[in-house]
Structure 1
Amino acid sequence: MSITRPHRRTAGPLAAAALAGLLLAGCAGQNAVKPPAPEGQALQGGAPGAAGAAPTGKLPAGGDSASPADGSQGGTGTGAGAGRAEPALARSEPQKITIPSLGLSSSLETLRQNPDGTMQTPKDPALAGWYEPGPTPGSQGPAVIAGHVTWNGASAVFEKLKTMKAGDTIKVNRRDGKTVMFTVDRVAEYPKAEFPTLEVYKNLDHAGLRLVTCGGNFDPKKHYYDSNVVVFARMTGAA
């Protein structure tokens, strides 16, 4: 199956996200492999950058081992976290993410795509990054925000992401002055070899958000985490 060269915002969210699906597949130092585009889909994106054009980026070698996420944290989207989705908004770039339950507040880097087709990852381990060729938080589709879990042995911005639970709130401030609220549906951990790209990045009829970082066991020799932690959320308000 051939790989279509990405073109900026010419396809639906799935096309963009299918490539971001493994955006952290190589985090902590493993070389990334550029995934194929879904059949019949043109890749979204194409500007220098990260999220949307067939990228799977890699995180720089980082830190100590992270404990595996507790499987009990994964919800089904039918309990406390299953807030009713609000109508999607027009596209507007995100500038800041706040997660009250983690005591986390971070401005957002813009992640684009590397020349080799892999997705960029945040340069500053203290900051999260938004995948630019994909949807913006609050617009229809699965917006993606990624961050490191550790960096050279020290904690990074998404170190505690695995502790989030269904019902937790995420706030994203946008360039248009709106603050979009998301409610977590579930938190899940996947072995990198079994990352569910379609489940995470499929087209949506509402504004969704996915927070992604590394998780599972850490191999200090390879500087490699064997899993990804994904937070699934949907927009439930805007101010």
Structure 2
Amino acid sequence: MTAVFWGGAGLLLATTLMGGGGDPPDDAHGPHTTRAVSTAPSAGTSAGPAEGGAATTSASPGEQSAAKHLPRSAPTRLVIPSIGVDAPFTALDLDSKGQLEPPPADDTNLVGWYAKGVSPGEPGTAIIAGHVDTKTSAAVFARLSELEKGDRFRVQRADGTRATFVVDEAESFDKDAFPDERVYADTPDAQVRLITCAGAYDRAAKDYTENLVVFARLV
């Protein structure tokens, strides 16, 4: 298993990914990362069925039932109709310090996923991150805090399937008290975490005080 570190002084997902590394617009609500550790399959490894196992669906397009999961396939597009998100994916990797690299800050309509971890729809916890704002404007996850329990979103995948997820809850956590295990721990079913910055913007630290996490599962 590979550990994904979201913490430390650099905290890329807090300052660059979600906050743009500079003063955000006054009306922007930002992303923030934490000292969280994510467990995920190592590179090139596909997560198999949970022990005792759910059956894998066929590779035909369309929504999948809650009792099934999907084989590994890279996500291509995230669509969240209720908050106006329709964005392509980029693959994220770890830097030399073991921290997750952010999506490019110059593209405000782009989300990233940890490509060496679980793909959305596979059993386990898939990690999707996006900027809440940049130095110049609001970004793809600017309205992520509006999601509520029962809201649905979908992930289009490279194999032609479409994984639909339902929101179980959304919660903000102080960066110094981030529940690593709760957010990043592996799961027997197919789940997703949507992560961005939240809370107040600390202009001295050029960082946000919280992370917003949306917990969702495949339906």
- After TM superposition, the score normalised by the length of structure 1 is 0.69
What is the rounded CA distance, in whole Å, between the counterparts of 1:195 and 1:181 in structure 2?
27
Paired residue total: 179
What is the rounded CA distance, in whole Å, between the counterparts of 2:195 and 2:80 in structure 1?
14
What is the aligned counterpart of 2:208 among 225, 234, 239? 225
The C-alpha deviation readout for 1:199-226, integer Å capped at 9, x for no partner, is 0111211000000000000022332100
User: Secondary structure in 1 aligned to 2:96?
Assistant: coil
What is the aligned counterpart of 1:199 among 164, 169, 182? 182
Partner of 2:131: 148
User: Do structure 1's residue 61 and structure 2's residue 42 form an aligned pair?
Assistant: no
User: Secondary structure in 2 aligned to 1:234?
Assistant: strand
Q: Structure 2: which 5+ residue stretches go unaligned?
A: 32-64
Displacement after TM superposition at 1:113 (Å): 1.1
Q: Summarize the alignment of residues 95-110 of structure 1 with structure 2, pairs less than 5 Å apart.
A: 95-110=76-91
User: Secondary structure in 2 aligned to 1:154?
Assistant: coil
Q: Is the 8 A contact 2:14 2:208 kept in 1?
A: no
Q: Is the 8 A contact 1:209 1:233 kept in 2?
A: yes
Displacement after TM superposition at 1:103 (Å): 1.3
Q: Structure 1: which 5+ residue stretches go unaligned?
A: 1-10, 34-55, 70-83
Q: Summarize the alignment of residues 3-22 of structure 1 with structure 2, pairs less than 5 Å apart.
A: 11=1, 15-16=2-3, 19-20=4-5, 22=6
What is the rounded CA distance, in whole Å, between the counterparts of 1:68 and 1:90 in structure 2?
33
Structure 2 letter corresponding to 1:173: Q
User: Do structure 1's residue 176 and structure 2's residue 176 form an aligned pair?
Assistant: no
Displacement after TM superposition at 1:64 (Å): 3.0
Q: Is the 8 A contact 1:147 1:157 kept in 2?
A: yes
Partner of 1:31: 10
Identical-residue share of aligned pairs (%): 35
Partner of 2:141: 158
Q: Is the 8 A contact 2:108 2:131 kept in 1?
A: yes
User: Secondary structure in 1 aligned to 2:181?
Assistant: helix
Structure 1 letter corresponding to 2:11: A
Give the RMSD, CA atoms, in angstroms: 2.3
Q: Is the 8 A contact 1:98 1:105 kept in 2?
A: yes
What is the rounded CA distance, in whole Å, between the counterparts of 1:168 and 1:200 in structure 2?
19
- After TM superposition, the score normalised by the length of structure 2 is 0.75
What is the rounded CA distance, in whole Å, between the counterparts of 2:158 and 2:125 in structure 1?
18
What is the rounded CA distance, in whole Å, between the counterparts of 1:134 and 1:170 in structure 2?
20
Displacement after TM superposition at 1:57 (Å): 7.1
What is the rounded CA distance, in whole Å, between the counterparts of 1:176 and 1:215 in structure 2?
33
What is the aligned counterpart of 2:108 among 116, 120, 125? 125
What is the rounded CA distance, in whole Å, between the counterparts of 2:30 and 2:134 in structure 1?
17
Q: Quickly say closer, same or farther: Cα 1:153–1:223, change in 2 above 3 A.
A: farther
Q: Is the 8 A contact 2:108 2:134 kept in 1?
A: yes
Q: Quickly say closer, same or farther: Cα 1:158–1:169, change in 2 above 3 A.
A: same
Q: Is the 8 A contact 1:162 1:229 kept in 2?
A: yes
